[in-house]
């Protein structure tokens, strides 16, 4: 029925099947939207956050999706600036994922701040000393850049592209893509970094505090590296997921393996620095404030296992897997490594947001526990659903994968 809207030369499932899928995902979207309304009306007292845990699932989710969305700026940088041409077959998807991750994070933030209608104060009364100010500026400007990168793809939709003005406009945007990719890289690097900086500068919180270079604590650089070490492989995973769902080949495996190699190299560099950082923190900084490494962990949900999972199982292991050519050549192993790496970066974001503030810094204080409640889970679910809905529409109607026709012609 909607065949005329499909990209040239591809096949898609029937409209009823697609509608059913969209309806199914919409349930989660609407459930979260309901929670969002409850939150806007009654305030965030309805969430599981409290005076100890001003930051919780939402911020963890934001940080994690933003790290995973880093495939956009890094792939854009490699494709348009370093001219690695092979990546053209996956860069569209990377841009869409980046846009979804960033816009999703911004949606969550509007709920997360106590006074949403004052959100613009961040631009109007900026505190130049605050890492969060840097975050606010970069995230919005970069989201706009991602939108600019996304628009030409929308304009390439078969019917839209028949309009001469649209075609020319899209062409001009394409020609200037290197410029946007450059701006995007700059903004996103700072944005990823200042998210890390946000925690690294908290000198009252020994779990997160790090000394560093100039105004930036080490966490600034660690966050950038961990994001570029996982963003590209997350793009590959999403691509593979779409392939499995639709039963089509969308991107050559060699492009995926290349993305894996890039992610793996970055992850190796990250792990190398992260291990040095952790060592220096445990043996240098902590004793200087009268604390020990053991005191940073407690029970199960704040246990040391989290650190071993983050650094070992979901850090060193996938890093080695992705840089080893024989392992990388095996799809199942590459995807496993990718999943591990994505879990690792999410654990890192979780411990920096939640563990950091759960630790009693005053000696007579106690560990506190935090459990997100339905309002936080469903709103995060809403963002995931939003991503799935937009991605489904893009896959169906936009020429996202340039090599799809070639790969599926038998």
Partner 1 sequence: MQQIEFDTKWTMVVDIDKCSGCGSCMVSCQAENNIAPMEDGSNKLKTLTWMLVYELNNGKEFPERESAYLPRPCMQCGNPACVPVCPVVATTKDEEGGIVSQIYPRCIGCRYCMAACPYHARYFGWFDPIWPEGMEKALSPKTSTRPRGVVEKCNFCHTRLMDARARARAEGMDPNKLPDGWYKPACLESCPTGAISFGDSKNPEHKVHDLIKDKNAFRILESIGMDPQVYYISRRDWVREQSDNHLPKDKH
- Residue 284 binds partner 1, judged by CB under 8 A: no
Which of 162, 363, 409, 410 is close enough to bind partner 1 by CB under 8 A? 363
Which of 10, 84, 107, 132 is close enough to bind partner 1 by CB under 8 A? 132
Nearer to partner 1, 70 or 202 (CB): 202
* Cβ neighbours for 252, distance < 8 A, ≥ 6 positions apart: 89, 403, 407
Q: Which two tokens stand for residue 304?
A: 């040391």
Nearer to partner 1, 136 or 322 (CB): 136
Is 110:119 a contact under the CB 8 Å cutoff? Answer: yes
Count of residues in contact with partner 1, rule CB under 8 A: 51
Shortest CA distance to 352 belongs to which of 242, 201, 234? 201
CA distance 171 to 178: 13
CA distance 261 to 166: 37
- Residue 41 binds partner 1, judged by CB under 8 A: no
Residue in this structure with the two tokens 């959100």, named with its chain if needed: 119
What minimum distance in Å lies between the beta carbon of 111 and partner 1?
Answer: 11
Q: Give the orientation angle of helix 57-68 with respect to helix 88-112, to 10 degrees.
A: 160
Is 8:399 a contact under the CB 8 Å cutoff? Answer: yes
- Residue 114 binds partner 1, judged by CB under 8 A: yes
Nearer to partner 1, 126 or 331 (CB): 126
- Residue 23 binds partner 1, judged by CB under 8 A: no
Q: Which two tokens stand for residue 85?
A: 């041409």
Nearer to partner 1, 134 or 404 (CB): 134
Nearer to partner 1, 119 or 179 (CB): 119
Q: Which two tokens stand for residue 87?
A: 């990546």
Which of 84, 269, 282, 291 is close enough to bind partner 1 by CB under 8 A? 291
Nearer to partner 1, 44 or 239 (CB): 44
- Residue 4 binds partner 1, judged by CB under 8 A: no
Strands 216-217 and 212-213: antiparallel
Residue in this structure with the two tokens 């998807």, named with its chain if needed: 93
- Residue 5 binds partner 1, judged by CB under 8 A: no
Stretch that binds partner 1, among 88-96, 154-162, 221-229, 364-372 (CB under 8 A): 364-372
* Cβ neighbours for 36, distance < 8 A, ≥ 6 positions apart: 111, 379, 382
Shortest CA distance to 22 belongs to which of 13, 10, 34? 13
Which of 16, 164, 247, 290 is close enough to bind partner 1 by CB under 8 A? 290
Question: Where does residue 247 fall: left (phi above 0), alpha (psi -120 to 50 degrees), or beta otherwise?
Answer: left
Looking at residues 177 to 206 of the shown chain, list those that interact with partner 1 (rule: CB under 8 A): 198, 201-206
Which ranges of 201-252 would DSSP assign to H, the alpha helix? 218-246
- Residue 272 binds partner 1, judged by CB under 8 A: no
- Residue 133 binds partner 1, judged by CB under 8 A: yes
Is 260:334 a contact under the CB 8 Å cutoff? Answer: yes
Which of 129, 162, 244, 410 is close enough to bind partner 1 by CB under 8 A? 129
- Residue 94 binds partner 1, judged by CB under 8 A: no
Which of 125, 162, 244, 410 is close enough to bind partner 1 by CB under 8 A? 125
3-state secondary structure of 207: coil
- Residue 214 binds partner 1, judged by CB under 8 A: no
What minimum distance in Å lies between the beta carbon of 108 and partner 1?
Answer: 13
Nearer to partner 1, 125 or 162 (CB): 125
- Residue 247 binds partner 1, judged by CB under 8 A: no
What minimum distance in Å lies between the beta carbon of 217 and partner 1?
Answer: 12
Q: Which two tokens stand for residue 343?
A: 């879990």
Shortest CA distance to 43 belongs to which of 115, 118, 117, 107? 115
Return residues touching partner 1 (CB under 8 A).
43-45, 49-55, 112-115, 118-119, 121-122, 124-127, 129-133, 135-136, 198, 201-206, 287-292, 295, 356-357, 361-365, 368
């Amino acid at each position: 029925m909607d065949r005329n809207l499909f990209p040239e030369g591809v096949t898609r499932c029937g409209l009823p099947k697609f509608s059913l899928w969209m309806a199914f995902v919409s349930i989660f979207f609407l459930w979260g939207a309901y929670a969002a309304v409850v939150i806007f009306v009654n305030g965030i007292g309805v969430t599981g956050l409290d005076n100890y845990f001003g930051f919780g699932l939402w911020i963890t989710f934001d940080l994690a999706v933003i790290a995973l969305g880093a495939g956009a700026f890094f792939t854009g940088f490699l494709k348009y600036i370093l001219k690695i041409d092979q990546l053209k077959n996956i860069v569209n998807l990377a841009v869409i994922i980046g846009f979804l991750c960033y816009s999703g994070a911004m949606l969550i933030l509007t709920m997360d701040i106590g006074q949403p209608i004052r959100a613009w104060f961040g631009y109007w009364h900026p505190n130049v000393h605050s890492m969060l100010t840097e975050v606010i500026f970069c995230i919005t400007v970069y989201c706009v850049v991602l939108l600019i990168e996304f628009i030409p793809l929308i304009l390439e939709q078969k019917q839209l592209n028949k309009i001469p003005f649209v075609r020319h406009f899209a062409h001009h945007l394409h020609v200037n893509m290197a410029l946007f990719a450059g701006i995007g890289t700059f903004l996103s690097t700072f944005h990823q970094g200042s998210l890390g900086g946000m925690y690294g500068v908290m000198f009252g919180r020994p779990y997160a505090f790090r000394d560093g270079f100039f105004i930036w604590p080490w966490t600034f650089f660690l966050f950038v590296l961990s994001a570029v070490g996982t963003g590209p492989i997350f793009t590959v995973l999403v691509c593979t997921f779409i392939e499995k769902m639709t039963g089509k080949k969308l991107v050559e495996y060699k492009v995926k393996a290349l993305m894996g190699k890039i992610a793996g190299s970055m992850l190796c560099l990250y792990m190398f620095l992260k291990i040095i950082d952790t060592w220096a923190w445990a043996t240098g900084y902590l004793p200087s404030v009268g604390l020990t490494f053991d005191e940073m962990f407690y029970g199960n949900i704040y246990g040391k296992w989290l650190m071993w999972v983050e650094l070992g199982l979901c850090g060193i292991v996938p890093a080695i897997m992705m840089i080893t050519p024989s392992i990388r050549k095996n799809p199942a192993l590459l995807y496993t490594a990718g999943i591990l790496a994505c879990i690792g970066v999410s654990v890192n974001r979780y411990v920096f947001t939640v563990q950091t503030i759960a630790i009693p810094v005053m000696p007579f204080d106690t560990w506190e526990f935090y459990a997100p409640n339905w309002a936080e889970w469903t709103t995060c679910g809403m963002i995931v659903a939003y991503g799935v809905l937009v991605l489904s529409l893009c896959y169906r109607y936009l020429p996202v994968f340039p090599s799809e026709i070639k790969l599926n012609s038998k």
